[in-house]
Amino acid sequence: MQNVLTMEKLVALAKTRGFVYPGSDIYGGLANSWDYGPLGTALKKNIIDAWWKRFVTSRRDMVGIDAAVIMNPKVWEASGHLTEFTDPLVECKKCHTRYRADQIDVSAACAHCGTRGEFTESKNFNLMFKTFLGSTEDATSLAYLRGELAQAMFVDFPLVLQSSRKRIPFGIAQVGKCFRNEITPGNFIFRTREFNLMEFEYFIHPSEWEKHFEYWLQEMKAWLKFLGVAEDHLVFHEIPDGERAHYSNRTVDIEYQYPFGVKELYGLAYRGDFDLKNHMDKTGKDLRYTDSASGEKYLPHVIEPTFGIDRSVLVTMLEAYHEEQAPTTEEGETDLRVVMKLPKELAPFKVAVLPLSKKEELVSVALKIVDDLSTRFAVDYDETQSIGKRYRRQDEIGTPYCVTVDFDTLTDQAVTVRDRDTMKQDRVAISDLCAYLSGHLPTL
Ligand code: GAP
């Protein structure tokens, strides 16, 4: 039996099991700020590592960079972010609650105080986070936390070209934090003011943009399949003229059916030469590329696939969450089993080692197994509570295999390996355990 998954259930599990906690919790929290706990950190890192391997290290046409969060403010002038990177804002005249004008009906009542139709005129609110460099706080020291990763890939384009000797088409990838002073953050880690992105700028000849756009759309779909996202939970939304970001000639938003509605997950944009052209105009540096075969000199165009990391974590968890009627116990009790059917590559722990009791002879064998397996896999060890409760705990955090050390182990030198999804158990010799698990666990 599958019950409806609500955000409340997911947020509660995320907190109790250590995936994601409310930020600054002991100070009463900070609205819309979240901390990744030990398991969330592992899940997020596994997603990033898989992404990097898939899109960077396993490809000949991609390189990675790791740029500064604070760039020369002139970058953001050239990119248009200081003027165009805005959301429409309205304010309730009575209680001064602020809303995004494109997300509410301005003739309706204020969701906070109930006053009807009393909103200010919509004005553009800039999302860039301001800061000051050094000890003075004036216009000369004004700087910004990056609102997107992309600008470093454009600004570093000539240096990457020179140092890596890549030929077009090729991409520059980056993973890191971005900051946006969102008017209405919310829905757990879906929309926050600091968030993590993985993206690349793929530099191409202008005549080939349609081919590359289609190719990257298919690659993004394949990545989502790898995360375990069902295709019928996705919506591919062609953003019409007039609604795209200021830099984009074509955008397809990949949307997902979250419990709170269909909303953006990732974006794919054709940025043309918008950014390189603006940086060339602003700096006077020639950013054109010379094709060594044809001698043609041109400004490359860019296809940009962007993957929000926090939204990747969110949809991976939403898709993995299952509730199942567990088999009736010997005492006749039925139970609901919550199991995170995470892709095995992404599970925070691959294996949990569980001695049946805390008796020294079992614990010492179990800990020896932990030490041996830890050189290959992320291993958890748990000796508290009943074995049934420990299985359930590992199910809830998505551990693909539980290895139980029991009293027979002391004589047959074998352990029981339980599969998270089928709950089937195999008896495996300790000497074969590592090979058994390697055979069942895909490597990243
Ligand atoms: N360089 C292009 C770019 O940044 P975007 O559509 O503004 O494009 C890309 O953002 C992705 O970043 C989104 O598809 C989403 O996954 C993620 N994202 C955007 N704003 C976010 C926020 N406030 N909190 C969490 N993720 C966000």
Instruction: Spell out the domain ranges in the chain.
Output: 7-73+140-317, 349-440
Segment holding 20, helix H or strand E = strand 20-22
The residue whose CA is least distant from atom 6 of ligand 1 is 267
Alpha carbon of 257 to ligand 1 centroid (Å)? 17
The residue whose CA is least distant from atom 9 of ligand 1 is 306
The answer, yes or no, to whether any atom of ligand 1 lies below 6 A from the CB of 197, is: yes
Q: Rounded CA gap, 155 and 198, in Å?
A: 17
Q: Which atom of ligand 1 is nearest to the CA of 147?
A: 4
Q: Which atom of ligand 1 is nearest to the CA of 253?
A: 14
The residue whose CA is least distant from atom 5 of ligand 1 is 267
Q: What pLDDT was estimated at residue 1? A: 45
- Please determine, looking at this structure, whether the domain spanning 7-73+140-317 carries the CATH number 2.40.160.60: no
Q: Rounded CA gap, 201 and 207, in Å?
A: 17
The answer, yes or no, to whether any atom of ligand 1 lies below 6 A from the CB of 87, is: no
Alpha carbon of 308 to ligand 1 centroid (Å)? 6
Ligand 1 pocket mutation, candidates 252, 311, 312, 316, criterion most atoms within 8 A of CB: 311
The answer, yes or no, to whether any atom of ligand 1 lies below 6 A from the CB of 305, is: no
Contact by Cβ (8 Å): 363, 369: no
Q: Rounded CA gap, 342 and 172, in Å?
A: 29
Segment holding 125, helix H or strand E = strand 123-126
The residue whose CA is least distant from atom 3 of ligand 1 is 148
Beta strand extents in 273-393 (DSSP E only): 289-290, 297-298, 301-308, 321-326, 335-340, 351-355, 379-381
The residue whose CA is least distant from atom 20 of ligand 1 is 191
Contact by Cβ (8 Å): 222, 126: no
Q: Rounded CA gap, 433 and 415, in Å?
A: 8
SS3 category, 112: coil
Contact by Cβ (8 Å): 403, 417: yes
Q: Consecutive 10-residue runs of the chain (444 residues): their mean pLDDT?
A: 82 97 96 97 98 98 98 97 92 92 90 91 93 93 97 98 96 98 95 98 98 98 98 97 93 98 98 98 97 97 98 98 80 78 98 97 98 97 94 97 98 98 97 97 80
Residue 80, token pair as written in the block:
């248009």
Name the amino acid, one letter, at 78: A
Contact by Cβ (8 Å): 350, 400: yes
Residue 254, token pair as written in the block:
């990949």
Q: Which atom of ligand 1 is nearest to the CA of 180?
A: 23
Q: Rounded CA gap, 120 and 147, in Å?
A: 27
The residue whose CA is least distant from atom 25 of ligand 1 is 191
The answer, yes or no, to whether any atom of ligand 1 lies below 6 A from the CB of 148, is: yes
Q: What pLDDT was estimated at residue 103? A: 87
Q: Rounded CA gap, 165 and 188, in Å?
A: 42
The residue whose CA is least distant from atom 21 of ligand 1 is 191
The answer, yes or no, to whether any atom of ligand 1 lies below 6 A from the CB of 270, is: no
* Pairing outcome for strands 351-355 and 379-381: parallel
* Nearest residue to 197 via CA among 148, 257, 267: 148
Residues β-bridged to residue 323: 338
Ligand 1 pocket mutation, candidates 197, 224, 263, criterion most atoms within 8 A of CB: 197
Q: If you search the block for the tokens 């054709």, which residue do you land on?
A: 270
Residues β-bridged to residue 325: 336
What phi-psi label fits residue 18: left (phi over 0), alpha (psi between -120 and 50 degrees) or beta? left
Q: What pLDDT was estimated at residue 2? A: 52
- For the entire predicted model, the pTM comes to 0.95
Superfamily of domain 349-440 in CATH is Anticodon-binding domain (3.40.50.800)
Q: Which atom of ligand 1 is nearest to the CA of 199?
A: 1
Instruction: Write the DSSP symbol of residue 83.
Output: H
Residue burial 344-378, b: 16+ Cβ < 10 Å; e: rest: bbbbbbbbbbbbbeeeeebeebbeebbeebeeebe
- Fold match between 7-73+140-317 and 349-440? no
Q: Rounded CA gap, 10 and 316, in Å?
A: 12
Contact by Cβ (8 Å): 178, 197: yes
Q: At what angle do helices 360-374 and 433-440 cross, to 10 degrees?
A: 50
* Phi, psi of 435, rounded to the nearest 5 degrees: -65, -40
Q: Rounded CA gap, 229 and 235, in Å?
A: 12
The answer, yes or no, to whether any atom of ligand 1 lies below 6 A from the CB of 267, is: yes
The answer, yes or no, to whether any atom of ligand 1 lies below 6 A from the CB of 81, is: no
